[in-house]
Every structure is written in C-alpha cells, then in structure tokens.
Amino acid sequence: MKTYELLTVFKPNLDAEEVDKALDSFAKIIKDFGGKVESTDKTGRKKLAYEIQNFRDGFFVTTVMNLPEESVAEFKRQLRLSDNILRTMFLEVSKAGV
C-alpha cells in the first residue's frame, strides 16, 4: 500500500457541514477500497489564481491517505463524479531518504 496526498478544491458556496459530509463519503470510499485516511487538513477558503466554473475562490482540503495501488484509478473516478469539487490534485508521497 502506498501513501498519497489529495488536494481537493470544493465549491465556495458549500457550508462547512456539506464539506464534512463530502469528506466523510471519501473516507468511506477509501476504507471500502482497503485504504486508510491518515490525516485531513482543512486549509479553508482561498482565492483562486483563475476562474474555475465561474468561481473565483474555493474551499481547500488536503488529505493524506494509504491506498492500494490497484484502487487509485477507481478512487480518482469517484472524485470526478462529485459535483461539489472544482479541482483535485492527487500525488504519491515519496519516502524521504530513499
């Protein structure tokens, strides 16, 4: 199992409760794939460098997770299906000193 970092930009018109619901559903999907959420950091609302879907700002959340490699493609597909997400960036975390 590898460690991944996911930066998610949610639509700014969502309230904190809706963002928490979306994060809970992602955590459930990760668990169903045999993975585990290590940490979640809600950075908050920030201004975007350019307009995305007519929004000038977004709610940023960074999630660190462990996920089996064979589940990554399906997890990314699940992220694309969400209407509340403006953008995502999915990265593999490299081990320091290797």
Domain regions of the chain by residue span? 2-92
* pLDDT for position 96: 61
* pLDDT for position 95: 72
Could you read off the pLDDT of 31-54 as tens digits, one per residue?
A: 999 999 999 999 989 999 999 999
DSSP string, the chain: -EEEEEEEEE-TTS-HHHHHHHHHHHHHHHHHTT-EEEEEEEEEEEEEEEEETTEEEEEEEEEEEEE-GGGHHHHHHHHHH-TTEEEEEEEEPPPTT-
For the chain, give the mean pLDDT: 90
Q: Which two tokens stand for residue 20?
A: 């928490």
Question: What residue type is 69 in one-letter code?
Answer: E
- Taking 70 as the pLDDT cut, the residues of the chain under it are 96-98
Q: Domain spanning 2-92: which superfamily?
A: Ribosomal protein S6/Translation elongation factor EF1B (3.30.70.60)
Distance from the first to the final alpha carbon of the chain: 17
* pLDDT for position 31: 93
